[in-house]
Amino acid sequence: MDDVLDSLTRQLRQFAQQRNWEQFHSPKNLASALSVEAAELLEHFQWLTEEQSRNLDAATREAVGQEIADVLLYLLQLADKLGLDVAREAQNKLALNAIKHPPLPPA
Amino acid sequence: MDDVLDSLTRQLRQFAQQRNWEQFHSPKNLASALSVEAAELLEHFQWLTEEQSRNLDAATREAVGQEIADVLLYLLQLADKLGLDVAREAQNKLALNAIKHPPLPPA
Amino acid sequence: MDDVLDSLTRQLRQFAQQRNWEQFHSPKNLASALSVEAAELLEHFQWLTEEQSRNLDAATREAVGQEIADVLLYLLQLADKLGLDVAREAQNKLALNAIKHPPLPPA
Amino acid sequence: MDDVLDSLTRQLRQFAQQRNWEQFHSPKNLASALSVEAAELLEHFQWLTEEQSRNLDAATREAVGQEIADVLLYLLQLADKLGLDVAREAQNKLALNAIKHPPLPPA
């Protein structure tokens, strides 16, 4: 596991313990919470044009940053409960995607 | 930016370039794709009890690992387009959460 | 089209026209908004047990009712933009589901 | 309750009974399934431009119709479990929205 992700995961474990939230953090519930946070992220973009989404104002960009954080924090907690290493899973998936979608030939 | 996340981000940039997919990767579209992947992750859990979700069979656990990877890969691409550092955003959000939700007092 | 759904659809058309919101209501955007509302609905249930979800308090039940309404309102607007009749689509899908999932034999 | 929605609701009840699926249909689970179906609907639009989403080819439009149906079918089942009338909820929400967002004055 990557050092920063490992550090975040350890902090999240402690955070849940100190608030007695572990009882709520079944993988099923964490997957729901992750999906809800992903939708809160999407909400910032739903009425924007693609062009506008490439040029967010500072306040929206900051709010989006917080939603991105929420998604990552639930993703790490879910992976932790399942004993999965998100960085390794991502690296493996990239390798699978490269096989599934070969690069375009040079023009 | 963390080394592993930085490495994944660089690979994702190259992956999109080599397939001429950058035209599709507006922040708006990446936020939609992220939300769709989060729902594909949730789909594995929707009919399970919380207890069953804590004891996935090997095939489901592997499939869930791939969905977790997909979520992270879109999250990194979205953050990259917006010039945001996901690890730093997550660290900042944890600090905000600690203020918003103080730990329980010792029993 | 069913009378009540037809009436709601006509009211929604007028509502959007009177606010000059039609410019935002591409099918792509309406599908995003629908997904966001479905997640807001899910948010009410994410930390509840299944048993608790069967026994909502009055305030949560009312809030859930409003989210259910939001989902239906976007669903009707999306179907209207695409020239689809949601009641007929639902009836057809039920028939497909009955073929795909035959009923259990009598015990 | 509206006749068509009432008829669909009665058919859905029987459908679940005949397959012994009622055990899975807690409001919590139905809300998850609804959110997953809404994302499957969104998936058809995620890489389209808004303009392309207004001009779906026949195959995509048919697939979208089926996803719209799935959303309505889970919405009706969820409302049924909670004793809510979706058409009435939608009508009430429209009235609330009209107060929250007054129409534009005539130009």
Summary mean pLDDT of chain A: 96
> Which one of A24, A29, A47 has the shortest CB-CB distance to C24?
A47
* Residues above pLDDT 70, as percent of chain B: 97
Q: Residue D101 has what DSSP assignment?
A: S
Average pLDDT rounded to a whole number, residues A49-55: 98
Q: Which residues in chain C are closer than 8 Å to B50, comparing Cβ atoms?
A: 49-50
Instruction: Please say if the pLDDT value at position B56 is more than 80.
Output: yes
Range with the poorest average pLDDT among A93-107, B61-75, D70-84: A93-107
According to the model, what pLDDT value does residue A67 have? Answer: 98
Disruptive mutation site among C24, C26, C29, C35 for chain B (greatest number of B CBs within 10 Å):
C35
What confidence tens digit (pLDDT) does each residue in C5-49 have? 999 999 999 999 999 999 999 999 999 999 999 999 999 999 999
Instruction: Please say if the pLDDT value at position D65 is more than 80.
Output: yes
Q: Tokens 């949601």 — which residue? A: C86
Question: Any long-range contacts for D23-28 (C-beta under 8 Å, 24+ apart)?
Answer: D24/B47, D25/D77, D25/D81, D26/C50, D26/C51, D26/C53, D26/C54, D26/D81, D27/C45, D27/C50, D27/C53, D27/C54, D27/C56, D27/C64, D27/D78, D27/D81, D27/D82, D28/C45, D28/C48, D28/C49, D28/C50, D28/C52, D28/C53
Q: Which residues in chain C are closer than 8 Å to B35, comparing Cβ atoms?
A: 35, 39
Both tokens assigned to B31: 């936020």
What's the gap in Å between the CA of C57 and the closest CA on chain B? 22
pLDDT interval class at A89 (50, 70, 90): very high
According to the model, what pLDDT value does residue A104 have? Answer: 85
Average pLDDT rounded to a whole number, residues B82-104: 96
pLDDT interval class at B2 (50, 70, 90): low
| Residues C56, D82: C-beta atoms closer than 8 Å | yes
Average pLDDT rounded to a whole number, residues A37-46: 98
What confidence tens digit (pLDDT) does each residue in A61-72 have? 999 999 999 999
> Which one of B19, B68, B86 has the shortest CB-CB distance to A68?
B86
What confidence tens digit (pLDDT) does each residue in C74-95 have? 999 999 999 999 999 999 999 9
Average pLDDT rounded to a whole number, residues D91-107: 91
Average pLDDT rounded to a whole number, residues B91-98: 97
A–B CB contacts, 8 A cutoff, strictly below: 197
pLDDT interval class at C105 (50, 70, 90): confident
| Residues B36, D38: C-beta atoms closer than 8 Å | no
Amino acid at D59: A
pLDDT interval class at D104 (50, 70, 90): confident
Q: Which residues in chain D are closer than 8 Å to C94, comparing Cβ atoms?
A: 8, 11-12, 15, 69, 73
Phi, psi angle pair for C26, to nearest 5°? -70, 150
Q: Which residues in chain C are closer than 8 Å to A52, comparing Cβ atoms?
A: none
Searching chain A, which residue's CA lies closest to the CA of residue B72?
A90
C–D CB contacts, 8 A cutoff, strictly below: 197
Predicted TM-score (pTM) of the model is 0.96
Instruction: Please say if the pLDDT value at position C1 is more than 90.
Output: no
Instruction: Describe the crossing of helices A3-18 and A58-82 by its angle, rounded to 10 degrees.
Output: 80
- CA nearest C28: which of A16, A67, B26, D79? B26
CB A58 within 8 A of CB B82: no
According to the model, what pLDDT value does residue A1 have? Answer: 47
Q: Which residues of A touch C (CB under 8 A)?
A: 24, 29, 32-33, 35-36, 38-40, 42-43, 45-47
Average pLDDT rounded to a whole number, residues A41-54: 98
